[in-house]
């Protein structure tokens, strides 16, 4: 990404009564060193983040992203973020995104320096990569074993499977493996055969006219873009559902998409080598909606 802006946040307590947090937001040089060598985000991936899509300098779905940041913080035993402080930081970062076109704002909250007194927090702004090919031509995916059963998240909450953590080595390894197999991306499945999500996106299937996504009870990160798109579909009169989806159900889908805040809706044109029709008109409608500035 072409980094355009970064600022460091001096994290406020979640009950801080202030309304103006400008004094806690410090812009920094994106080309200069900024983190301590003892920083837990880089030493251990011990932190959380959010990536917010930006359209024409308008950050999309800020409220849901902040809610998910707070949810991840709770799961990871991090101090609760002051959401108004982060909202003000996002507003500053917006001004440094491209005036026209797409950008991305990242929120990062780390445990900080080992044995340090406070967490480390910062926000970045960058130009978004060009995702037009994926949106228009579609992508090929393969299914990959995530290495745990559908009931594991409930039995082992310390695995943080529902948190958006900085520990993305497995996610990136899965994408590399997908490319080694001749695909563009992956869809994780549980070891007992249930569909989960992609490494950096949510999965939506159209089965018998209904739009279905895996229920967020198997350690799935609840996708802000998927939530927004489902609300849009419901307004159009479509049926949506969250279900525990067996791997065999992928063969019943007549269309499928990976959706995320930056790539938006990418239609799937093949799953494990099986061709899948791309609904170009509906996909264009999805992305038209997702590219409309909205709160």
Helix, coil or strand: residue 190: coil
Token pair for residue 209? 């006219």
Using an 8 Å Cβ cutoff, are 18 and 88 in contact? Answer: no
Note the CATH number of domain 132-290: 3.20.10.10
The model's confidence at residue 1, banded by pLDDT at 50, 70 and 90, is: low
In this predicted structure, what is the pLDDT of residue 235?
Answer: 96
Q: Provide φ and ψ at 159, rounded to 5°.
A: -75, -10
- Average confidence (pLDDT) over 51-70: 97
Token pair for residue 170? 């497995």
Residue 17, C-beta contacts closer than 8 angstroms, at least 6 positions apart: none
pLDDT(134) > 90: yes
**Rounded Cα gap, residues 3 and 108, in angstroms:** 15
The model's confidence at residue 2, banded by pLDDT at 50, 70 and 90, is: confident
Nearest to 295 by CA among 106, 103, 62, 86: 62
CA distances from 92 to 25, 77, 88, 216 (A): 9, 27, 6, 32
The model's confidence at residue 145, banded by pLDDT at 50, 70 and 90, is: very high
Token pair for residue 86? 């982060």
Q: Can you state the angle between helices 62-75 and 224-235, rounded to 10 degrees?
A: 140
Using an 8 Å Cβ cutoff, are 75 and 159 in contact? Answer: no
Residue 13, C-beta contacts closer than 8 angstroms, at least 6 positions apart: 79, 82
Residue range 31-57, pLDDT digits in tens: 988 888 889 999 999 999 999 999 999
pLDDT(219) > 90: no
Give CATH 3.30.470.10 domain extents, the chain. Answer: 3-127
- Average confidence (pLDDT) over 104-127: 94
Residue 150, C-beta contacts closer than 8 angstroms, at least 6 positions apart: 190, 192, 194, 217, 218, 244
User: CA 132, 68, 156, 158: dihedral to nearest 10 degrees?
Assistant: 110
With a pLDDT cut of 70, the percent of the chain lying above it is 100
- Average confidence (pLDDT) over 13-33: 95
Residue range 261-277, pLDDT digits in tens: 999 999 999 999 999 99
**Rounded Cα gap, residues 162 and 169, in angstroms:** 16
The model's confidence at residue 117, banded by pLDDT at 50, 70 and 90, is: confident
Give CATH 3.20.10.10 domain extents, the chain. Answer: 132-290
CA angle 279, 185, 230 (to 5 degrees): 50
Using an 8 Å Cβ cutoff, are 174 and 188 in contact? Answer: yes
> For domain 3-127, which architecture applies?
2-Layer Sandwich (3.30)
Tell me the average pLDDT of the chain: 95
With a pLDDT cut of 90, the percent of the chain lying above it is 87
Residue range 163-201, pLDDT digits in tens: 899 999 999 999 999 999 999 999 999 999 999 999 999
Give the residue carrying structure tokens 């080694």: 180
pLDDT(218) > 80: no
Half-sphere exposure of 119 (CA within 13 A, CB side): 22
Strand partners, 256: 205
């Amino acid at each position: 990404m072409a980094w355009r802006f970064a600022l460091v946040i001096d994290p406020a307590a979640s009950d801080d009564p202030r309304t103006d947090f400008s004094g806690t937001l410090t812009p920094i040089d994106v080309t200069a060193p900024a983190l301590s060598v003892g920083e837990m985000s880089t030493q251990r991936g011990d932190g959380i983040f959010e990536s917010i899509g930006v359209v024409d300098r308008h950050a999309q779905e800020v409220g849901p992203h902040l809610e998910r940041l707070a949810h991840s913080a709770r799961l990871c035993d991090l101090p609760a973020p002051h959401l108004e402080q982060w909202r003000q930081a996002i507003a500053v970062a917006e001004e440094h995104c491209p005036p026209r076109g797409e950008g991305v704002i990242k929120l990062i909250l780390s445990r900080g320096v080992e044995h340090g007194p406070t967490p480390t927090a910062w926000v970045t702004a960058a130009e978004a990569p060009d995702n037009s090919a994926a949106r228009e031509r579609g992508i090929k995916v393969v299914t990959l074993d995530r290495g745990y059963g559908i009931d594991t998240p409930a039995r082992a909450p310390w695995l943080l499977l529902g948190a958006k953590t900085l520990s993305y080595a497995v996610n990136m390894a899965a994408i590399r493996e997908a490319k080694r197999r001749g695909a563009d991306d992956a869809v994780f499945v549980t070891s007992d055969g249930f569909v989960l999500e992609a490494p950096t996106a949510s999965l939506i299937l159209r089965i018998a006219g209904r739009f279905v996504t895996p229920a967020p009870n198997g350690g799935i990160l609840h996708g802000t873009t998927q939530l927004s798109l489902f609300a849009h579909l419901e307004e159009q009169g479509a049926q949506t559902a969250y279900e525990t989806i067996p791997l065999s159900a992928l063969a019943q889908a007549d269309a499928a998409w990976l959706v995320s805040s930056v790539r938006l809706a990418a239609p799937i044109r093949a799953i494990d080598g099986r061709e899948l029709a791309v609904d170009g008109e509906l996909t264009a409608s999805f992305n038209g909606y997702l590219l409309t500035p909205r709160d």
